Structure 1
Amino acid sequence: MSGIHGHHDMGHTLAGWTGTAIVTLGTALAGTGLCAASPALLRSGATTILLGALTTWVLHLTGWGKPSGPRPESQWPWRVRDTTAHTDCLGCRLAGRDRRNRPDSATARRRREAAGSSARALP
């Protein structure tokens, strides 16, 4: 990786690249269908776009997607599975992996700190 971003991983992953390729194909199909006035091509393009989003989500949930951010250089390559917990990840929350109420999550710590500071503010 280049030193432009320091130790900040940009999150290029198998899930991201696969989803991008599928959605690009779907966009091309939908665009061709729009130009050719073909409802069948337009529908197949829209279906392919949805399939790309679903594929990206499933790959993310199986560990092949990771958020961008600071991480050790050994975890930067896109072929490396993600080993971290996604405490504030929308995709994980949609899958029922809501970690906000777990005592070790960053969100739970922020809530405890906010509750503690508001309790101290009261007379």
Structure 2
Amino acid sequence: MSLYDEGHTIAGWTGFGIATVGSGLVGLGVCAVSTPALVGGLAIVGASVLVTWALHLTGWGKPPGVRPRGQWGLRVRDTQARGGHPGCVSCRLAGRGRPAPDAAPVPVAPGEARAGSTPLSPVE
């Protein structure tokens, strides 16, 4: 089981669905040798990026990295989105957020917990 839960969001699935339609149209354009279908498909794929970005900035995406299990649900809105997420390229492009901390994380031996951390899964 993954501890990161990346992409399991409204923003991620909406962007995936729109990009799938655009990719299908690009494939149809290649097979049919149709420039309008190619251009239309690429425009739809570009729109999927913008829609995903907008949804992430409104709180329907999640920050990168480990999150508490209570925030793993698909319908859980991210309350930190307005201030931006540290290390998030999407937030930085929008002029939000803070740069990622410069300090590298301290390695932890397997089976050993960090001080003040709670295990997220039985594996941890």
Partner residue of 2:91?
A: 92
Which runs of 5 or more residues in structure 1 are unaligned?
A: 101-105, 111-123
Whole-angstrom distance in 1 between the partners of 2:73 and 2:87: 23
How many angstroms apart in 2 are the aligned matches of 1:99 and 1:28?
A: 37
2:52 corresponds to: 56
Q: How many residues align?
A: 100
- Shift of residue 15 of structure 1? 0.2
CA distance in 2, matches of 1:68, 1:95: 16
Query: What percentage of aligned pairs have identical amino acids?
Result: 52
RMSD: 1.7
Counterpart of 2:72 (choices 76, 84, 94) is 76
Q: Quick one: distance in 2 between partners of 1:9 and 1:62?
A: 19
What is the TM-score with the length of structure 2 in the denominator? 0.72
Name the CA distance, whole Å, in 2 between partners of 1:10 and 1:91.
14
Mapped contact 2:11–2:53 kept (Cα < 8 A)? yes
Distance 1:39 1:93, change over 3 A: same
| Of 3, 16, 21, the match for 1:20 | 16
Compute the displacement of 1:71 (Å): 1.9
* Structure 2: gaps of 5 or more residues: 104-124
In 2, Cα distance between equivalents of 1:18 and 1:74? 22
- 1:32 corresponds, among 28, 35, 38, to 28
Larger Rg: 1
1:51-99 per-position Cα deviation (integer Å, ceiling 9, x unaligned):
0000000000001001343222221111111123411100000001142
Of Structure 1 and Structure 2, the greater helix share is in 1
3-state secondary structure, aligned to 1:10: coil
- Aligned residues of 1:13 and 1:65 also touching (Cα < 8 A): yes
